[in-house]
């Protein structure tokens, strides 16, 4: 239980249903859908699509999604991959001939075909109760009427102004500047698009006038996209992967998502006696940073549309071999060189309804404002997921037409003794696998409740720097520097998270990250 004399937030308890997400209006809309007879799928779609208007720098219909779903009458978990593919004409050799050695993040070549709309349509048809028209109605309303910009959204928006280019600056800026806190943002052209999807389904988005707008806008900038690329977009159900951490089973999407990275990192951490370490001390941060270096190195080697060595990443022996490379008293150098002997052979919403259908859904345009490219007529902001490809010849994740890139977004679920007990997710691009492993460790090694596990300070090793939030003491940062880490306090918070725990007595407990504007709501 938290100290009520200290700042913080209480978990939300309810019996009939809970939504936890990063904007309060999306949580409210999801609960209204549940109260009106919809199920968790209807509510998750309604809230997620609304987030594209409430947090346009984070997500939108020009992006992708991944979903984990527990049906109401089962403990089985289904995975739906709603990530799009590169246009058929794209190939890495062509880009290398242009003098490129990595994917250009603000280029039309980084724009993969948006997959989320197809996935929402499929999910609604297969598991929804109210239909797509009802699920999209709230987003249509708010896209027309507008939503006051929330504090964290304003912070992110202002930091990413320069990412927007061309007509996108007209759609997403006001006289060239980001909207201020409380200023209303609307997207009436997107309301038109959503209305067409509500009336006519996926074909309204992937064929005809709307698709033509996206294709023409991309080709005008040198993109290789065609109408056939959009018309052929299709999500697919896949088999989840999982790994045990103590008595919790961490369930993730298989590649092209990076869920295997989270499982590998948790397996590495399991080789250490974290319970004996101060949960907010330097030793735990150090071990976690070293584990992240090794797990992310494996990700960069193997995660792709068709991951050739998935079994190797999930094998506990691989984790044990990697853990043996970690020096408790010194930060490692290049993890690629150190781990070679072991390896030689990227918004989140969760909903649980009264029937205990559980949805874990993550939905993104990748970088802040994605590619920065918006379609001319409708202002659809297009993702730059193709930046997840590599241009290295022969790499499993080499850019190629019709292929899905390595994806950072990963929804999660936890199972215990065969029962689903918690859909959860951690936002924050590359941080997500680290965030999943830390969340599970907080629950298991330190006995934290979901809200405390989310509130706890975070650290993350990225691009040669160990970022340590202000929630840690200066003494911890000094100790980490003495271990050889380059330590910095990040400009903004590390990630965001949401979770819903399903208790044995049927009560639901929702937790939501104070690093975001959102909340958990129940009824």
346 a catalytic residue? yes
Taking every pair of Cα atoms in the chain, the longest distance, rounded to a whole number of angstroms, is 62
Q: Closest Cα partner for 47 from 365, 513, 520? A: 520
**Residue 412 bridge partners (DSSP):** 424
Q: Closest Cα partner for 56 from 190, 177, 172? A: 172
Q: Closest Cα partner for 74 from 32, 19, 127? A: 127
Q: Which of 346, 350, 408, 444 is catalytic?
A: 346
Q: Helix, strand, coil % (nearest 5) of the chain? A: 40, 20, 40
443: left (phi over 0), alpha (psi -120 to 50) or beta: alpha
d(CA 58, CA 317): 37
- The DSSP call for residue 93 is H
Q: Which two tokens stand for residue 176?
A: 């060239």
Residue with tokens 């242009």: 98
Q: Which residues of 490-502 are buried (b: 16+ CB within 10 A; e: fewer)?
A: eeebbbbbbbbbb
Torsion, Cα 209 194 515 467, to 10 degrees, reads -20
CB within 8 Å of 376: residues ≥ 6 apart:
167, 213, 216, 217, 220
| Catalytic (active-site) positions | 346
């Amino acid at each position: 239980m938290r100290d009520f004399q200290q700042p913080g937030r209480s978990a939300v308890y309810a019996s009939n249903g809970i939504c936890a997400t990063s904007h309060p209006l999306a949580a409210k809309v999801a609960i209204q859908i549940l109260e009106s007879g919809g199920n968790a799928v209807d509510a998750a779609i309604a809230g997620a699509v609304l987030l594209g208007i409430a947090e346009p720098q984070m997500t939108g219909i020009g992006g992708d999604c991944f979903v984990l779903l527990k049906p109401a009458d089962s403990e089985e978990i289904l995975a739906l991959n709603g990530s799009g593919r590169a246009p058929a004409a794209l190939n890495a050799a062509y880009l290398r001939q242009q003098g490129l050695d990595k994917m250009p993040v603000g280029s039309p070549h980084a724009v993969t075909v948006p997959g989320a709309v197809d996935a929402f349509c499929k999910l609604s048809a297969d598991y929804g109760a109210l239909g797509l028209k009802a699920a999209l109605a709230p987003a249509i309303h708010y896209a027309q009427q507008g939503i006051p910009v929330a504090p964290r959204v304003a912070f992110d928006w202002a930091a990413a102004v320069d990412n927007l280019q061309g007509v996108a600056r007209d759609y997403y800026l006001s006289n060239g500047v980001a909207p201020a806190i409380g200023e209303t943002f609307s997207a009436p052209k997107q309301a038109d698009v959503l209305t067409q999807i509500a009336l006519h389904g996926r074909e309204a988005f992937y064929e005809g006038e709307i698709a033509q707008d996206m294709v023409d806008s991309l080709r005008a900038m040198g993109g290789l996209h065609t109408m056939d690329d959009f018309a052929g977009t299709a999500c697919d159900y896949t088999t989840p992967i999982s790994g045990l951490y103590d008595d919790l089973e961490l369930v993730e999407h298989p590649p092209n998502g990076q869920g295997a990275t989270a499982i590998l990192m948790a397996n590495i951490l399991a080789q250490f006696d974290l319970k004996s370490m101060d949960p907010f001390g330097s030793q735990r941060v150090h071990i976690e940073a070293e584990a992240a270096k090794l797990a992310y190195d494996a990700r960069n080697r193997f995660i792709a549309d068709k991951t050739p060595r998935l079994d190797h990443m999930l094998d506990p022996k691989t984790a044990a071999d990697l853990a043996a490379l970690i020096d408790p008293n010194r930060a490692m150098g290049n993890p690629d060189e150190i781990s070679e002997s072991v390896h030689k052979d990227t918004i989140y919403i969760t909903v649980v309804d009264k029937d205990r259908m559980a949805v874990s859904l993550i939905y993104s345009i990748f970088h802040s404002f994605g590619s920065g490219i918006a379609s001319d007529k409708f202002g659809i902001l297009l993702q730059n997921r193709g930046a997840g490809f590599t241009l290295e010849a022969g790499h499993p994740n080499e850019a190629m037409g019709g292929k899905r890139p390595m994806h950072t977004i990963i929804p999660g679920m936890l199972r215990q003794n065969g029962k689903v007990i918690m859909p959860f997710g951690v936002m924050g691009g590359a941080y997500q696998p680290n965030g999943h492993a830390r969340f599970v460790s907080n629950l298991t090694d330190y006995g934290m409740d979901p809200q405390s596990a989310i509130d706890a300070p975070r650290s993350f090793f990225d691009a040669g720097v160990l970022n340590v939030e202000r929630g840690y003491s200066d003494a911890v940062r000094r100790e980490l520097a003495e271990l050889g880490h380059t330590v910095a306090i990040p400009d903004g918070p590390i990630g965001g998270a949401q979770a819903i725990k399903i208790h044995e007595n049927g009560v639901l407990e929702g937790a939501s990250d104070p690093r975001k504007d959102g909340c958990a709501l129940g009824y």
